[in-house]
Amino acid sequence: MPIKLPANLPAYAVLDREGVMVLAEDAADRQDIRPLRVALLNLMPRKIATENQFARLIGATPLQIELSLIRMTEHQTRNTAADHMETFYRPFAEVAASGEKFDGLIITGAPIEHLPFDDVTYWDELKQVFDWTQSHVHSTFGVCWGGMAMINHFHDVPKHLLETKKFGCFRHVVTQPASPYLRGFSDDCVIPVSRWTEMRQADIDAAGGLTTLITSAEAGPALVEDTAHRALYVFNHFEYDTDTLKHEYDRDVAQGTPINVPMNYYPGNDPANPPQNRWRSHAHLLYGNWINEIYQTTEYDLNAIGR
C-alpha cells in the first residue's frame, strides 16, 4: 500500500521518482480501508527536505498512511516559502481545537539544542503537544532534539552540552534484540549523529520506566522506549539522506564555523570522496517496525485512542 499525500506536495514527486508508492488523496478516498493517520510536527528549518525523509520511511510499508503536517502555532520559519507552509501545514492550535486523533506522531529535531528548554520560544506550546499526545496519539516518535525535549518533559532527564560536536556515522549495538521495534536488525548498526548535546545512560536509568534499545560506546544511548507514554525517543538520525551530513559540513566550512570532518562518513575520511549510505536498511526497518506496531495495537475507531 502507498502513502497518501497531496499530489502537489514536493515529497509526492520525489518519492514517486524513487519508486516509493504514493497515492493522491482522491484515489486514496476510493479505497475501502482505514489508513493509519500519522502526523509530522516539523521543527526543522529545511521543512521540505525533512518531509521527504520521513515520508520516504513511513511510506515504504505495506499499509496505507495518511500523512498530516503540523507546525508550531506562533513560530514562523524563515527557511521555507510561506505559501508552502500555508498550503500544507496546520498550526498545532488548530489541530488541538479540532479534537482529531492520530495513530502516530513524529516530532522532529530542531537546531536549538544549545538553548535551555525553557528558553525556546515555543517551549510552552511544545509541552502542550507532549501532554496532548497522551489523549490524542497512539504512539509518538521523538527525534533528536524532539526526543530529548520529550524525555525531559516526562522524566526530567537532562541534556548535557558537549565540548565538541558529535558529528559523523557511529557504530551502535542493539541491547534489546527481542524488541518488536528492532525486528530484522543486525547486532550492530551505523547511525548518523549530528548534535552538540547528549543524553546519558545514568540519567535515563535513574528516571525509571525507560528501556534503552540501541546504544553506542562513542555516541551514548540512541533509542529509548517509554512504554508508559507510548513513545520512542531516538537521539540520532536514521532518517538522514546520504548527503545530509555533507550539506551540514559544507555549510559550516563555507561559513567559517569550526567543524571536524564527519567521522566514518567519507571513504578514507576524505571529503573529496562521495559519502556512502550504510544506515538506509536499518532506517527502513525501524520506521517500518514502528508503523507495524501501531497497526497491530491501535484502535480501529480513532475516537477510542486515549480513552
Domain that holds residue 107: 3-161+197-241+279-304
Which is catalytic among the residues 66, 237, 282, 293? 237
Ranking 16-25, 31-40, 262-271 by mean pLDDT, the lowest is 16-25
- Tell me what the mean pLDDT of segment 204-218 comes to: 97
The radius of gyration of the chain from alpha carbons, rounded to an integer in Å, stands at 19
User: Would residue 68 count as lying in a domain?
Assistant: yes
Residue matched to cell numbers 480513532:
302
Ranking 17-21, 153-157, 194-198 by mean pLDDT, the lowest is 17-21
Which is catalytic among the residues 66, 113, 136, 144? 144
User: Would residue 169 count as lying in a domain?
Assistant: no
Total structural domains in the chain? 1
Query: In this structure, are residues 101 and 137 in contact, taking their beta carbons and an 8 Å threshold?
Result: yes
Given a cut of 70, is residue 152 above it in pLDDT?
Answer: yes
Q: Tell me, what's the pLDDT at 79?
A: 65
Q: What is the CATH number of the domain that holds 97?
A: 3.40.50.880
Higher pLDDT pick, 176 / 307: 176
Closest CA to 286 of 190, 146, 169: 190
Query: Does 239 qualify as catalytic in the annotation?
Result: yes
Higher pLDDT pick, 113 / 265: 265
Residue 90 binned pLDDT confidence (cut-offs 50, 70, 90): very high
Given a cut of 70, is residue 274 above it in pLDDT?
Answer: yes
Q: Tell me, what's the pLDDT at 257?
A: 87
User: Would residue 120 count as lying in a domain?
Assistant: yes
Given a cut of 80, is residue 97 above it in pLDDT?
Answer: yes
Q: Which residue intervals of the chain are DSSP H helices?
A: 10-18, 25-28, 47-58, 82-88, 92-98, 123-136, 145-155, 201-207, 244-255, 280-297
User: Would residue 273 count as lying in a domain?
Assistant: no
The torsion angles phi and psi of 199, rounded to 5 degrees, stand at -105, 145
Which is catalytic among the residues 198, 239, 248, 293? 239
Residue 141 binned pLDDT confidence (cut-offs 50, 70, 90): very high
The torsion angles phi and psi of 65, rounded to 5 degrees, stand at -115, 130
Q: Tell me, what's the pLDDT at 290?
A: 97
User: Would residue 248 count as lying in a domain?
Assistant: no
* Overall pTM surpassing 0.75 (yes/no): yes
Q: Tell me, what's the pLDDT at 31?
A: 44
Full DSSP string of 102-121: EEEEEE---S-TTS-GGGST
Query: Does 144 qualify as catalytic in the annotation?
Result: yes
How far is residue 24's CA from residue 34's CA, in Å, rounded to a whole number?
15
Given a cut of 80, is residue 242 above it in pLDDT?
Answer: yes
Q: Tell me, what's the pLDDT at 34?
A: 79
Q: Tell me, what's the pLDDT at 22?
A: 62
- Tell me what the mean pLDDT of segment 199-223 comes to: 98
User: Would residue 39 count as lying in a domain?
Assistant: yes
User: Would residue 254 count as lying in a domain?
Assistant: no
Q: Tell me, what's the pLDDT at 45?
A: 86
Phi/psi region, residue 46 (left: phi>0; alpha: psi -120 to 50; beta: rest), is beta
156 CB contacts (<8 Å, ≥6 apart)? Answer: 207
User: Would residue 264 count as lying in a domain?
Assistant: no
Q: Dihedral sign, CA of 53, 57, 176, 171?
A: negative
Full DSSP string of 25-67: HHHHTTSSS--EEEEEE---SSHHHHHHHHHHHHTTSSS-EEE
Mean pLDDT over the full length of the chain = 91
Residue 28 binned pLDDT confidence (cut-offs 50, 70, 90): very low
Q: Tell me, what's the pLDDT at 159?
A: 97
Ranking 127-131, 186-190, 287-291, 299-303 by mean pLDDT, the lowest is 299-303
